Each structure stands twice: as C-alpha cells, then as structure tokens.
Structure 1
C-alpha cells in the first residue's frame, strides 16, 4: 500500500512554521495513550485519491497491525502542543532484500504516513520521516524506500524535494474484481498446493536474482496471512514430477496468496449514486441469470478485503496460459471468501508475467512509484546511481502492501 499525503490548502509564514515545529514532539507509539487518537485522526485522512474517485484504507483494530508481521518494526507518533494532541503518524520496518544478482542489503520500508488535516504545513511529515530514518540507520539499514501513486504530487515532492529521495522503480497494480460466478479452469491443468519448504526452495532458486527478494521468504510463507503457494502444471506432467527431487517441470506457473482482509479493508468513494445503481444492476442481473456469467461489478462501495498475489513466476511455452488459469483459480478462492471483492497483483512494468495476469484496466493503475534514499553516505556501491537491474522482475513483499 502506498504512502499518501493530501495537498495542503493554506500557506504558512516561515516564522509561523518554525514556531509550530518546535511544538511538535515525536514519540514511539504507546497503545494505551495513542491508539484511539490515531484511529480518529486517520479517519479524517483521505487516502489514495485518484481523480474524482478515492480509494481509502480503513485500518482494522490495532493501528500497528500493518507492520507487526515484520520482525523489526516501529511506529512513531507526532504530538503537538502542551496537551500532546496526536497530529501525525508513520510506520516503518527493516528487512534484508536482494539488491542485484543475489547480493543482499538491509533496507528500511516507510509506510502509513499520515498528518492531521488541520495541522499541515508545520513540517510534521518531514520530522516524522527524519526520526524514522534515524531509527532505521541504528538498526543497520543502508537504504530506505517508499511507495506512492505517481499522481500524488504532495507525497512525491515531500520525499524527493525535502527528504532527499530519488525516483527509483515504477510498478503496475493489476486488479481483478471478484464476480458472483466461478471462473472456468481448464481440465487439462492440475493446480498443486506446495508445502512451505518447497515453495521457499523454489523461490530462492527462481527469484533470488529479482530486486527486493526478501531474505526471510520462509517467514512470509509460514505466516498465518499466507493462504498458500500454488503451482499450475499440465496434468500430463503431474505423474512424472516428484517435488522431492528438486527438479522443476518444464511448463508451470506459480504464485502465493496473501489475505489482507485480516489487516485492513478498502472502500471506493466519490462515485455518483447513478453509477452505484448501475453497478448494483450488474450484480442483480448476474444473480438472476448466472448461466451467462456476466462480469458483474462487485460492491466496492462498502469496506471490502482483497487477496494479494506475490511471487508470480512462469516458465515454458504454456506459461501464460498456466498463469492465467492459476489466477482464475485464486479468483474462485476469493469468491468463496465473503467480503473479498478483488484479487490484486503488483508487478514491475517489464515483468513478462504482467501480460498473463487477468485484470480490469479501469480498476488498475499503471504507475506506482517507488522512491529510494541511501542512508549511509559512503559505500562501495550505490544501488540508486547504478540505474541497472539484472532482471525485470521486482519481488513485492506482501507485508508492504
């Protein structure tokens, strides 16, 4: 999920900004003291604005739930004035990922930056970022990165102009709505659920050269939010393939599924009543004549959950067909899970898997911007200035979403 910062609506003089900035104190999150205030503040922050439609994040329960699945994480809170009004929050984690050609580096991921709408233009966002970066450096992070929508100028300007980040990689978010009917999966294909040990072995073998491949992939695969790793292969290979040998089939597709419903929910706002009625009409028509298998529009105008696909990989001449069939299989999983209205995948713009993933263009967006900053001044290699990648594949950690 991207960092989102709404644009400011009124100017502040330099003297006012400096005076207000002194009144802002950054502290580590304390559940008893900050939880209710943060939930109230975040309800006022509209996130994910895209044109006239807003995609907002509705955090469920504990505000720290978005990062608790990282072994090294922290949540910082900005307090303002003598009464300690909560006016900002930021989350961060530190992990080890592949940089290039299986060379690993420790990085920080910054997410969930929010600033109270009535307390903007006080330098609160910058102050939170600086404090979090310092904590990450103390934990050994060499780089820090964030993700934001390429249309979010306020967010991009904050990080690139004020905090020293550079635009680094551009990814594509592909969204497939979940319909009321099942998607057909070819009878010539077998879908196999891989045990975590085998999935870890295959990912380390097949995707170790991809950028941002997490060193703790085994921890992700064994997480309770991971619904499984699945492989689709032609049935004619099924009897010949023994996973214990470590030999990979010549034709296959594989991916893992992460259940975000237990962490946060999304909701689409800003749509006219007429458009909502038309969308409801497609669902009604689909339920009345299910045999037609119409592509009905799911009810995304109330809070809903999504399945996130990660670790997508395919090989062989039938790779695209196998990947598409595997995505349809996951769609059917989501269809049986009440409240799950979409299946989402995030891929590098030049990743060959991108062409095989079914999605709706109007529901997807092509440019999710990743910005990065080198936290240490000196070093033998600069990942940023190299501007090269040994592979078009970028591994998107589901814990980042």
Structure 2
C-alpha cells in the first residue's frame, strides 16, 4: 500500500471563504484570464513528467458539444482575480437494465470535468466551493447523479471529491493508448471493413449497448457531429452481402467502433521528461525515417502539442475471429490517423472486464489500467429507486461489464 503522508491541513477561515466568489464564465471578459490561469496550473506540475492540455479556441470547447453545459469561475480578493474553474455537462444515459427484463434504465447525470485551482490559492476551499455551486445548478436541472473521472493516483482530486464532497468510488475503466506511427499498418487478410451510415450505426448501437452503463440517449447527436469521423464495421471477407443490416439482423461475427476527432478540441503535450528519454524518442523517429522498411514503432513527437483520435462504441461478437476483427478495425483507425498531420495517438476507454479490452492494440507504458470514476446521488427524493423497483445504482453490482465511453467527456 502507498504510505499516506501525515500532514495537518488547516481549514480555510471564514474571512478567506468570503473572499471567494463563484459565478458563471463570461466569454468576453474571462477568456484570456482563464487561459492564463490554466497555464499556471500546468506550470505547477513541473519537476516530473506531466501531460498538459491546450484547449483549441474558447475554454468552453470541451463541453459545448453536450446539450446542456455550464462553466463556472472562482474570483478571489478585491482584484477579483480568477483563481479557479470548473466545467459540467448534463445528459441522459443508461445505468443497466431492469431485473428480469431487457429494457434499459435511464438516468439523468452530470459529468464534472476541468476542475482547476491555482497552486497559490489551494487549501482555501475554492475547489469545494466550485463543486458545490456546480451541484446546485445540477439539482435545479433535476440531475439524479453527478460523476467525475480522474487518474487513480491523483490523491488531491480523489480526496476533494470523496472526503469533502461525499462522492464514492464507483467504476475503474481502463484507458488504452496507441501511438500513431508514420507508416501504415497492415490490415489482416480475410477482413472486410465497411463504413456505416449514422442512422444504421445508431440502430446497432442502441441494440448492443442497451444493457451497458453510461450509454448516452442522444447517441444520434454524437454520430452526426462534425467531429465524428465515421462508424466502421469489420466482418469476415465475403460475408457482407449475406446480411441485410438495415433489417436488424446482425452477423454472427463482427466488430464495430466509431472514431472521434478530439484534435479539433484540444492538444496534449508531454513535459518534464529526462534528456535521455527525449533523445531515445527522437532517435526512434530518425531511424524510422532512414529505414522505413524496418517498420520501427517510432514514438511520435509528443513533446510538442499533438492531437488524438478517440475510439468509442467498441463492440465485438462471435466466439471465433471477433478479436481479430477488432484488431483490424483499430489498425484501420490507426491508418486514418496517420493521414492526419498532428494526430499523435489513438485513445480508447473501456470497462476493465469488457472483452474488447484484450483485443485493442496499445502500449502499456502509455496506457493506464485504472481511470477512477466517482459518483454522487443528487436526487432528494428518498427511496425513489426502491419505490420504482430499481436497485440503487451506486450500491448495486453492474448489470454488464461494458461501460460506454462518451467521446465528449474526454
């Protein structure tokens, strides 16, 4: 077990709390200050390797693709300096299925993301106040649950939500990352890959993810978004003409996924690595450029801002060959990304026990096994789950090992 350091943290005084004011983000007056504040937050991570985020355009770009969203800022002192920020979006998702039924249960949830507080103003209760104000908005919108995601090693964030804001540890999906190389990868023989129309993709997704958790009710909006680069299905070669997918009959063996272009929303950048690691990464690219026929798995230049493609809606069926079909789809997506300058990686987030986890190519050094999700019930109606004959979502076991990753949440 990791040893916890025994530090005495003084609670913020009443005077300090009165110095903090939380209000809604104003694009015209706050944009420059928020961008500068978030840069200073990243500077506070220097001294060890870190992954910084550079939003493309307005700071609300990470939530504006959600139907209902809000961004709050925290001001401090007489100068009204912006020292904190938080974002939230609301959607309706599945939370499994009813007992003895195949019909999904839907819940209105809020996803909390982008919480930042200046290093110079931490331990003043600013993060807690931002979360509380966002929850007030969620309750007015009749949200049943709020959840957030963080690295399982981010003790500061975990303690804030679990110890101060009454969230509980809920799910631990796996994040799989594959670097995008300069050369194409070979798609296996005997595989046919077809692009599906958004309407057909929606129909298939609603069937195969009906019993999963966090499948968004507005999947049609996601699939028709300009950032969605398409939905693709892999089948054994020569079998596509045998199945009328429009009729609702799915092949006995297939794999499916969609590709989301996060490169247009934000850029990532690795900072703080040692000179040796930097030289090794540069060397791998030089060797790959000089001897491309060796197909060296060179590491992209992640020390400059780079974008990612998100793979979501990953599903496969069929006892024999389904895993190979999923790997072929991921290879197809890799080749798509290779044609897009500035795309440095593919990212897929799946449930820890989801069968597709073992079929998705990834680098372990870049991936992480547990992405901690914490949840809190916001509904004030007592025992509403019991009266409806539905078990409490937080305390009940998941009805499926599948967790649907919404690309808008990344």
Q: TM-score, normalised by structure 2?
A: 0.93
Q: What is the CA deviation profile of residues 70-103 of structure 1, one whole-angstrom value per residue up to 9, with x for unaligned ones?
A: 1100000111112211011000011000012110
Query: Which residue matches 1:25?
Result: 21
Q: What is the CA deviation profile of residues 86-143 of structure 1, one whole-angstrom value per residue up to 9, with x for unaligned ones?
A: 0110000110000121100100100000001111111000000000001011111000
Q: Choose the corresponding residue for 1:223, options 217, 222, 225.
A: 225
Is 1:151–2:153 an aligned residue pair? yes
Query: Which residue matches 1:139?
Result: 141
Aligned ranges for residues 1-400 of structure 1 at < 5 Å? 13-14=10-11, 17-46=13-42, 52-101=48-97, 102-316=104-318, 317-377=320-380, 378-381=382-385, 382-386=392-396, 388-400=397-409
Distance (whole Å) between structure 2 residues aligned to residue 299 and residue 315 of structure 1:
36
Asked if 2 retains the 8 angstrom alpha-carbon contact of 1:17 and 1:123, the reply is: no
| Number of residue pairs the alignment of both structures matches | 392
Deviation at 1:234, TM superposition (A): 1.0
Asked if 1 retains the 8 angstrom alpha-carbon contact of 2:46 and 2:272, the reply is: no
Asked if 2 retains the 8 angstrom alpha-carbon contact of 1:307 and 1:334, the reply is: yes
Distance (whole Å) between structure 1 residues aligned to residue 28 and residue 76 of structure 2:
18
Deviation at 1:11, TM superposition (A): 7.3
Deviation at 1:256, TM superposition (A): 0.4
RMSD of aligned residue pairs (Cα, Å): 1.9
Asked if 2 retains the 8 angstrom alpha-carbon contact of 1:50 and 1:151, the reply is: no
Asked if 2 retains the 8 angstrom alpha-carbon contact of 1:48 and 1:54, the reply is: no
Deviation at 1:307, TM superposition (A): 0.4
Deviation at 1:17, TM superposition (A): 3.0
Deviation at 1:50, TM superposition (A): 11
Q: TM-score, normalised by structure 1?
A: 0.95
Distance (whole Å) between structure 2 residues aligned to residue 127 and residue 343 of structure 1:
35
Secondary structure in 1 matching 2:279: helix
Secondary structure in 1 matching 2:341: coil
Distance (whole Å) between structure 1 residues aligned to residue 77 and residue 44 of structure 2:
29
CA spacing shift, 1:47–1:306, aligned 2, 3 Å: farther
Structure 2 residue runs of 5 or longer lacking an equivalent are 1-6, 98-103, 386-391
Distance (whole Å) between structure 2 residues aligned to residue 31 and residue 366 of structure 1:
37
Q: What is the CA deviation profile of residues 152-207 of structure 1, one whole-angstrom value per residue up to 9, with x for unaligned ones?
A: 00000000000000000001110000111101002311110000000000000111
Moved over 6 A (4+): 47-51
CA spacing shift, 1:13–1:156, aligned 2, 3 Å: closer
Asked if 2 retains the 8 angstrom alpha-carbon contact of 1:90 and 1:113, the reply is: yes
